Structure 1
Amino acid sequence: MEYEIKANSTTNNGAALAIKQNDIGFGITSESEVVSPNPAELFLGSFAACILKNIERFSNLMKFTYSGTDIIVKAKRTNAPPRMTDIVYDLTIYSDDSRLNVNLLKKNIEKFGTIYNTVKLSCSIASTIRVLESNANTIKT
């Protein structure tokens, strides 16, 4: 598989990614980063998206149902050299399905996640995964 995106920026302003039929704005100045995500936050967003995509994928393969998920991803960064050193994610899956095997799901996320596997080569990843009843779902869109 191959991937391609387009990006553009305006001097002293912001920038945007053009991905398929979506534009995703991001900050490239200290002023634009106040209201728009910066590149590090987009990176963490890609990591989270990879995990969420794999939950959807494996819910079909593992034959469990869920009503939604919440994920919080945090990272630590060093300045010299500038890079992420530690990523921690806190994942909540809303499900009443007894077929949801969290340990197997976590193993599959770690084995088959493209972004996950790319990131784990350069920094440590830790996680907390919990399952709550579907009626406890408080996802905001």
Structure 2
Amino acid sequence: MNYTVSGNIIAHQQATFTSKQTNVSFGIKRDQNYLPNPAELLLGAFAACCLKNIERFSDTLKFNYEDARIEVLGERQERPTKLVAIQYTIHIKSEDASLNVKLLHKNLQKFGTIYNTLKETCNISGEIKLID
């Protein structure tokens, strides 16, 4: 499987990338606090990977859930600049007794494309919590 995106920047103004039929704007200047910067987009991809796989594994592991959300914190090193750690907490709302949280978490860690890519370059730690 291959993925394709294209990007464009207008000098000193704005930048976007396109995937499928969606344009995503991102910040290129420090004063563009209303747009995500590239590091935040990467953390967003990590979050999306985890959430997509919760949906995927709800079918495979045969459990129901009402809602899931994730909070992600990335730690940046200054020299050389890079992400050195990612911490996350996933909150799942489910009353399904068949939901095996440990098995779900193991599968998220083992089969997530973005998760696996990032764990090769930085420390990733996190947990899943059930909420009422």
Alignment TM-score, normalising by the size of structure 2: 0.97
> Which stretch of the first structure deviates more once superposed, 100-109 or 10-19?
10-19
Number of the residue aligned with 1:136: none
Partner Cα separation in structure 1 for residue 11 and residue 93 of structure 2: 43
Q: Kindly state the Cα deviation for residue 88 of structure 1 after the two structures are TM-superposed.
A: 0.1
Residue 18, structure 1, aligned to residue 18, structure 2: yes
Q: Percent identity?
A: 45
User: How far does the alpha carbon of each residue in 1:98-129 deviate from its partner, in whole angstroms, 9 at most, with x for none?
Assistant: 11101000110111000000000011111121
Number of the residue aligned with 2:48: 49
Q: What secondary structure is seen at the aligned counterpart in 2 of 1:69?
A: strand
Partner Cα separation in structure 2 for residue 94 and residue 105 of structure 1: 14
Number of the residue aligned with 1:35: 34
Number of the residue aligned with 2:106: 107
CA RMSD of aligned residues (A): 0.8
User: How far does the alpha carbon of each residue in 1:7-66 deviate from its partner, in whole angstroms, 9 at most, with x for none?
Assistant: 11111122111111111110011122x110000000000000000010000000000011
Partner Cα separation in structure 2 for residue 97 and residue 4 of structure 1: 38
> Does the 8 Å CA contact 1:13/1:27 hold for their aligned counterparts?
no
Give the unaligned 5+ runs of structure 2. Answer: none
Partner amino acid, structure 1, of 2:118: V
Partner Cα separation in structure 2 for residue 9 and residue 31 of structure 1: 16
Alignment of 1:1-141 (within 5 A): 1-32=1-32, 34-133=33-132
Q: What secondary structure is seen at the aligned counterpart in 1 of 2:29?
A: coil
Query: How many residues are aligned here?
Result: 132
Q: What secondary structure is seen at the aligned counterpart in 2 of 1:65?
A: coil
Partner Cα separation in structure 2 for residue 14 and residue 96 of structure 1: 45
Partner Cα separation in structure 2 for residue 14 and residue 94 of structure 1: 38
Q: What secondary structure is seen at the aligned counterpart in 1 of 2:82?
A: strand
